């Protein structure tokens, strides 16, 4: 098992790029999030820390690149959405710990005020090197693979499906979280058994499918389709219990579609009116060939993306 990193190892950057925080030492900076451990006399690290501060930035990434400019308020929106989902998916233990403590007769907030609203205080875990991807609809890379082989990640699907169609049942298509400098890759369930053993591999699949079904039902009540998502899990260092970690069911880790647009649309684009960063992906695909530095996002794309993120949060939390 690898140490708790909360995000894909392929996203590693220097901790020095993380903004300084009083009382906290940066230990990791990724495309979107930064990790901190409490400053002590001993050398701070994720290996020895009991808890970690996960700070979501306004940075936005697509196709393995951080883009400019960021999406204003994105970090707070994604953190709020994660916390909202953690409150509802209580059948599975999660990595959150209390973000305040009593000192003498007063309550002290542990999360620094400068990152309040976009940070989660979490226990450190021994993370499993698996991205637990669940797909309920045929789209994205799955659609491209289906056109070639009538399968997704090696799982055979019925003939005649169209882009955006609902699958007969959700499918579990895990990915291996590659070491720094390498790309994550889709893997078979049998490969997950090799990586984490048969018991954990089966548990990760079962938990992921159950969480997806529960979250999908909640989203439908708000007129939103959860098309696909990815979960990450780790083992509690004291008990060995499998714990839900990382961000959960955010607009960055999931595809969300407007249910009414999906039902009435006549093309994949209208059917998939999205509440995620698909707007960014679409614009970038149309204006960049993948070589060199990506172009700067235009103001209207930034504003549209921010508006869709906000609308998703409002829809879900007000349903």
Range with lowest mean pLDDT among 16-25, 79-88, 105-114: 16-25
Q: How confident is the model at residue 1 (pLDDT cuts 50, 70, 90)?
A: very low
Report yes or no: 69 and 302 within 8 Å, Cβ to Cβ.
Answer: yes
- pLDDT for 270 equals 65
Report the alpha-carbon distance of residue 264 to residue 100 in Å, rounded. 47
> How does pLDDT run across 172-199, given as a tens digit for each residue?
999 998 665 456 789 999 999 999 999 9
Give 69-72 contacts, CB < 8 A, sequence gap 24+. 69/296, 69/297, 69/302, 71/302, 71/305, 71/306, 71/309, 72/302, 72/306
Q: What's the rounded Cα separation, in Å, for the pair 36 and 79? A: 16
299 — pLDDT class (breaks 50, 70, 90): very high
pLDDT attached to residue 12: 39
Give the model's pLDDT for residue 218: 98
pLDDT at 267: 64
Give the residue-averaged pLDDT of 289-305. Answer: 95
d(CA 3, CA 125): 7
| Coil, strand or helix at 239 | coil
Q: Are 119 and 54 in contact (CB under 8 A)?
A: yes
- Mind listing the pLDDT tens digit for each residue in 129-160? 999 999 999 998 899 999 999 999 989 999 99
Averaged pLDDT of the chain: 89
Task: Dump pLDDT digits (tens) for 220-266.
Answer: 999 999 999 999 999 999 999 999 999 999 999 999 999 999 998 86
């Amino acid at each position: 098992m690898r140490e708790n990193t909360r995000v894909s190892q392929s996203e590693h950057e220097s901790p020095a790029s993380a903004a300084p925080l009083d009382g906290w030492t940066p230990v990791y900076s990724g495309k979107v999030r930064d990790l901190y451990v409490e400053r002590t006399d001993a050398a701070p690290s994720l290996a020895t820390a009991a808890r970690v501060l996960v700070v979501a930035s306004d940075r936005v990434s697509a196709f393995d690149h951080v883009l400019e400019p960021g999406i204003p308020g994105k970090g707070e929106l994604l953190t709020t959405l994660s916390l909202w989902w953690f409150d509802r998916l209580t059948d599975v233990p999660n990595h959150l710990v209390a973000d305040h403590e009593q000192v003498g007769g007063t309550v002290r907030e542990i999360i620094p005020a400068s990152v309040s609203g976009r940070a989660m205080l979490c226990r450190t875990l021994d993370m499993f090197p698996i991205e637990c991807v669940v797909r309920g609809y045929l789209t994205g890379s799955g659609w491209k693979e289906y056109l070639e082989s009538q399968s997704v990640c090696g799982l055979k699907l019925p003939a005649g499906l169209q882009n955006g169609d609902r699958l007969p049942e959700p499918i579990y298509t895990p990915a291996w979280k590659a070491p720094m400098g390498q790309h994550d890759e889709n893997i078979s369930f049998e490969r997950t058994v090799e990586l984490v053993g048969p018991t954990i591999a089966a548990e990760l699949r079962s938990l992921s499918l159950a969480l997806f079904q529960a979250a999908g039902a909640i989203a439908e009540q708000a007129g939103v389709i959860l098309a696909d998502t990815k979960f990450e899990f780790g083992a509690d260092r004291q008990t060995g219990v499998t714990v839900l970690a990382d961000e959960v069911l955010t607009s960055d880790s999931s595809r969300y579609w407007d249910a009414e647009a999906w039902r009435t649309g006549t093309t994949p684009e209208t059917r998939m009116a999205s509440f995620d960063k698909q707007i960014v992906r679409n614009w970038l695909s149309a204006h960049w060939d993948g070589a060199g530095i990506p172009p700067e996002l235009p103001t209207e794309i930034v504003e549209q993306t921010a508006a869709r993120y906000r609308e998703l949060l409002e829809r879900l939390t007000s349903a």
